Amino acid sequence: MRVVFAGTPDFAVPSLRAAATRAEVIAVYTQPDRPAGRGRALMPSPVKKEALLRGIPVFQPENLKSQITKDALRALKPDLMIVVAYGLILPKSVLEIPGGGCWNVHASMLPRWRGAAPIQRAIEAGDTRTGVCLMQMEAGLDTGPVLLSNETEIGANETGGELHDRLAELGARTLSDALALTSMGMRLQPVVQAEEGVTYAHKLDKAEARLDWQSSATTLANKVRAFNPWPMADAMLAGERVRIHSAIAVPLARAVAPGEIVQADRHGIDIACADGALRIRTLQREGGRMITAADFVNARRDLQLPSPQ
């Protein structure tokens, strides 16, 4: 099977490896090199690095709209195109080029969490289960029929980064299974997505990371988990801006104004919320590294409050 693979970030790398094991990957499409780091030097995407290591030709068009780009893809004569977090829209005319169409590995149990940030939105919403779907692509946003899926639990304290890594591997295994079945002559049966239960995972925005103590503690704890490692939750704490790496929701025994520090000791820093309190366990001061709440309290002796009896 002649396969063209399209992907860009780390999430797509395990799927590229799976595709290269199960099929002949004749080309890789990935986004153009972008400036990164302090020197703003152009850096190749993780998928490009993996493709070059494997000796696979790499194409990096700005978009897939031009006739020249479409002709170049058509000249490859692909049987199938596999898309994993590519980051560019595939026009209908491109979807029709491969003989077997285009498959997409998506990190949610469709139709829940269509869109750009399904992993983080699932955690933010307090979902306890998620998974990956292998979808036959069509013109709509993640609306195509599902060919194969695998479900998994979300850990109670699992962060966006941890779940990202697990789903990347689960997506690769799902893709590998689909390619193996196809190579044996078995036709995957597409299952049309349900019309009920559709939700959209909108792209993450740094402005969302600011914690609002008028929210419930559970809502904020989910947000802290979801936005680790990016964009990372942040808040004002005792007059200084900090980034919060980990926190949990705890009960609040007495009525306290949201935003007030109700406890600060070796166990953490408890901030009153609209419902309950958020116990900050690890955090980062501006320009510093991640530290425990206990280290922060030791550095800010004005915060040392007696533990409630």
Query: Which positions make up the binding site for (6S)-5,6,7,8-tetrahydrofolate?
Result: 108-111
Q: How far is CA 127 from CA 84, 152, 153, 201, 222, in A?
A: 23, 11, 9, 13, 10
Q: How far apart are CA 133 and CA 104, in angstroms?
A: 8
Alpha carbons 183 and 185: distance in angstroms, whole number = 5
What DSSP character marks residue 101? -
- Tokens 């550095």 map to which residue? 299
The radius of gyration computed from the CA coordinates of the chain, to the nearest angstrom, equals 23
Cα separation values, 92 from 64, 95, 110, Å: 10, 5, 21
Reduced to 3 states (helix: H, G, I; strand: E, B; else coil), residue 34 is strand
CA angle 156, 238, 283 (to 5 degrees): 35
